[in-house]
Amino acid sequence: MQKVHHRPRDKWRDVVFGGIVLLVVLADQLSKTWIRTNLAFGQSINDVGFFQILHVQNTGASFGLFKDHSLTLTIVAIIGIVVILVLIFFMRSRWSFYDSMLVRTGIGLVMGGTIGNLIDRLRIGHVTDFLDFKIWPVFNVADASAVVGAIIIAFCLIFLTKTAVKKE
């Protein structure tokens, strides 16, 4: 069996990926801790008409889906984290798509968001949400990170894979 030697660039990309995940988790957990410490459940501050900070406890997934299914969502999150790690660290040599720094950034944002909300589910049984734009369900840093990451990945799938196919 041939041993795979990773280029130094791969190590750098792993460090950036890990750094993005860590930054998202830290920002998410610090912001949620501040909300839980300073606002009672249902209390709001900074209501400026279109935006407010509102302390909400979410026992479901995004948009209120799967309310009171924390165990199921915890299991799905753990499976998702394992799949992401396998894709990033074991499948990258098979699929050059994962070699893109932009894709790694997107996957890091998704994973950081997933871990941030998983920590809440495991520690307190629900996710703390607090960003309320009033035309959208209340969300948090982890949710925003996961959505931005998914958009980046979709962009790369649509536009970068077309470019790679045309070059071949």
For the annotated catalytic residues, the residue numbers are 129, 143
- Calculate the alpha carbon distances from 60 to 43, 98, 100, 115 in Å: 20, 30, 33, 15
Please name the amino acid found at residue 72.
Answer: T
pLDDT at 8: 56
Tell me if 68 is assigned to some domain. yes
Question: Is 2 inside a domain boundary?
Answer: no
* pLDDT tens over the chain, length 168 residues: 455 555 555 678 888 889 999 999 999 999 999 999 999 999 999 888 899 999 999 887 766 667 777 788 889 999 989 988 888 777 766 666 777 889 889 999 999 999 999 999 999 999 999 999 989 899 999 999 999 999 999 999 888 766 544 444
Flag whether 116 is in a domain.
yes
For residue 42, tell me if it sits in a domain: yes
Assess if residue 163 is contained within a domain: yes
At residue 165, the pLDDT reads 47
Q: What is the extent of the structural domain holding 135?
A: 9-167
Burial of 163 (0-12, 13-18, 19+ CB in 10 A): exposed
Domains contained in the chain, number? 1
| Domain assignment of residue 131, yes or no | yes
| Closest listed residue to residue 24, CA positions, set 138, 154, 136, 147 | 147
Q: What ranges in 39-155 are assigned the alpha helix state H? A: 70-89, 101-124, 141-155
In a domain, 81, yes or no: yes
Would residue 4 count as lying in a domain?
no
Q: Which of 102, 97, 121, 112 is nearest to 142 (CA)?
A: 112
